[in-house]
Amino acid sequence: MATMVRLSREQIDQMFVEMDEMEKNLKAIHAELIELGVPRETLSRFARMHDRYTAGVAFLMKQRDLGRAAD
């Protein structure tokens, strides 16, 4: 079941700012894990989680762009 949430443009823009900040933090953590010599399996699991996050953000950005085009 789909749920519609009405957010203002400002709320949406702020959400994307925060998601961008999270993306940068995930990259920084990944670099730290490499420096710490974390096992490859753990790095791979982290990378898959990061990739899923990135894909979710990309989907939301596409939806935002489509919404703007419809306005």
Structure tokens at 19: 């998601």
Which amino acid, residue 28? Answer: A
Longest dimension (CA), the chain: 49
Entry pTM: 0.78
Residue labelled with tokens 């823009």: 13
For the chain, how far is it from start to end, CA to CA, in angstroms? Answer: 25
How far is residue 45 from each of residues 22, 38, 64, measured CA to CA in Å? 17, 11, 29
Q: For 16-52, how does the pLDDT look when each residue is reduced to its tens digit (9 = 90+)? A: 999 999 999 999 999 999 999 999 999 999 999 999 9
